[in-house]
Chain A
Amino acid sequence: MARSVTLQRKSFNTLIAWIIGLLLFFPILWTILTSFKTEAQAIADPPVWFFFDWTLENYRVVQERSNYSRFLWNSIIIAGGSTILGMIIAIPAAWSMAFVPSNRTKDILLWMLSTKMLPAVGVLYPIYLIFIQLGLLDTRVGLTIVLMLLNLPIMVWMLYTYFKEIPGEILEAARMDGAGLKEEILYVLTPMAIPGIASTMLLNIILAWNEAFWTLNLTAARAAPLTAFIASYSSPEGLFYAKLSAASTMAIAPILILGWFSQKQLVRGLTFGAVK
């Protein structure tokens, strides 16, 4: 990376990259801007950019119409809960596969990943029935479990690739030093794998936060997270762009902020641990 380039070349790269970056980011930026406009300004042609009467009116209306904080809370519980629950199951599994590999390890790993390929829609009705039977329909617990199962293969896969990088000798040293299995995982493996674990958790929070098939189909009023909150704007209703923007901003803001603060782990996590 220490290749020297001319100043022109670097300026040119910078210009092109920023243009493309801003272009890709533009829909988000536009949504955020629009959320502060009046409905009339939101559809103005030619569009108004920055110079309009900034207003929080839309946020107030959206909050009034549907209780945002309840959806937000559901999203947090479901995304956070499924990630934590998943880690509790995935860490031991990944430990097994990374440090005590057998000749079936790779098959198991690929099989796990292949369950991700199972078309959700193919099992929608049975899950629906099971949920009714168990009283899990429209509950946060039910959704937490489903999203955990949905993302478990990815968690195991990612942790496996991170654990593989930790030299087995260190765990053996812990074993020689008198650590049992629990201590080995708790005091030695987990602290060493913190970056990988953080990346895995972050990615899974995002995947769970944005999951929209099961959250739309298994919830109604009580357990609906932000994906459902926003889906209620799917039928046009007069002038509603500014309100839609406000609702959208509210739905994506928590994840954008989380992503902003944990960029490094996230970039690592986004590669699913598959590329070094």
Chain B
Amino acid sequence: MGQIVLEQVTKSFGEVTVIPPLDLTIEDGEFTVFVGPSGCGKSTLLRLIAGLEDVTSGEIRIDGRPSASIPPAKRGLAMVFQSYALYPHMTVRKNIAFPLRMAGLDKTEQDRRVKQAAAVLNLTDYLDRRPGQLSGGQRQRVAIGRAIVREPAAFLFDEPLSNLDAALRVGMRLEISELHNRLKTTMIYVTHDQVEAMTMADKIVVLRAGHIEQVGSPLELYRAPRNLFVAGFIGSPRMNLIEGPEAAKHDATTIGIRPEHISISAEEGRWSGVVGVSEHLGSDTFFHVHQTGLAESITVRADGEVSFKHGDRIHMTPRDDMIHRFDDKGSRIA
């Protein structure tokens, strides 16, 4: 079981309020991602749940139990740190067994669980090495191994992939997702990378300055961002935001249209502009179009084979049903 409820939780460091009152429920078995720019309080929130920091006020309940007086060790949570935080003086085997040793399990049971975890994570051949002799991806696996042997009520991940190179990151993303599918344990995952959030989460929590901007499934956030911040944060490349007369036509202060919802043509379209930089990814091509009279630059996605050159004049047509409208406070107009 691993339901986690946050009720009117606040956190301040001295005079500085990092998290204003915040409510959130994470259901058992859910993969929840906290996402937001750096300094938004997402890591602090995770550390509050872990018990590495005290809440200033409010309550965190883990499986219905108020956790205020429970030290981190007794919360039944396992955490994977950004730096992996492996014990450099212990072998992989000892690292993974450490939580079991702390829990006072007997040697044979420790051994059995370590072997099992190592098999799952492809670490069997490395059990007698020390962390210093492992690659980044392997260290990451050891950190995860150390977390899973405890059979925790929930896993906490604090930007676990940010120290890995791009290729490894994609691989580890899949592995963690698979792990979740197999274990069906609650996972809370903190990242600043919206791609990680979109690909892994059952539920995304978008944070800014300690506030929850929106909670929902990846597609809900993609389809109906509640405000300009979420609209700008979720989706890659970013949503185009247009103000002024064009927005007024839709009875809004700002309208947003994603690059993938604009079609382009050489001959005709509602808007026009001059091609600046074009990024060819093979499968897709992104054009950055200038001199549109709408915004400084409009990003448009086109098929990989479409080729316009720098300086070509092109025409663009947005899909009307995909236009997001926002009012003067930046909130979505339904």
Contacts and interface: CB of A to CB of B under 8 A. Distances in A.
Any A–B CB pair closer than 8 Å? yes
A178 B82 contact: no
A174 interface: yes
B102 A172 contact: no
Interface string A149-170: 0000000000000000001011
Contacts, number: 60
A172 B86 CA distance: 11
B58 interface: no
B85 A167 contact: yes
Contacts of A179: 73, 98, 102
A175 interface: yes
A180 B72 CA distance: 9
A170 B73 contact: no
B82 A169 contact: yes
B66 interface: no
B87 A176 contact: no
Interface in A156-201: 167, 169-170, 172-180, 183, 187-188, 191-192, 194
Contact of B85 (A172, A178, A187, A194): A172
Interface string B64-98: 00000001111001110111011111000000001
Interface residues of A, number: 18
A177 B150 contact: yes
A187 B99 CA distance: 12
B170 interface: no
A245 B81 CA distance: 59
A167 B84 CA distance: 11
Given A174-B98, A178-B99, A179-B73, A192 B87 contact: yes
A243 B98 CA distance: 58
A146 B50 CA distance: 44
A176 B83 CA distance: 15
A167 B73 contact: no
B89 A176 contact: no
Nearest to B82: A169
A36 to B, nearest CB: 45
B88 A176 contact: no
A80 B147 CA distance: 41
A193 to B, nearest CB: 10
Interface string B260-302: 0000000000000000000000000000000000000000000
Contacts of B98: 174, 177, 179, 187
Interface string B24-55: 00000000000000000000000000101000
B146 A175 contact: no
A82 B83 CA distance: 38
Interface of A is mostly: helix
Nearest to B99: A177
Contacts of B79: 172-173, 176
B72 A175 contact: yes
Nearest to B90: A191
A178 to B, nearest CB: 4
Given A183-B102, A191-B89, A192-B89, A176 B72 contact: yes
Nearest to B79: A176
A170 B52 contact: no
A177 B110 CA distance: 14
Interface in B79-136: 79, 81-83, 85-89, 98-99, 102-103
Contacts of B99: 177-178
A195 to B, nearest CB: 11
Interface of A: 167, 169-170, 172-180, 183, 187-188, 191-192, 194
23 contacts: A169-B83, A169-B85, A170-B85, A170-B86, A172-B72, A173-B79, A173-B87, A173-B146, A174-B98, A175-B52, A175-B71, A176-B50, A177-B78, A177-B146, A177-B150, A178-B73, A178-B74, A178-B99, A178-B102, A179-B73, A188-B87, A191-B89, A192-B89
Interface of B: 50, 52, 71-74, 77-79, 81-83, 85-89, 98-99, 102-103, 146, 150
Nearest 10 A/B pairs, CB to CB: A178-B102, A173-B85, A177-B99, A169-B85, A178-B73, A191-B89, A176-B79, A170-B85, A169-B81, A175-B72
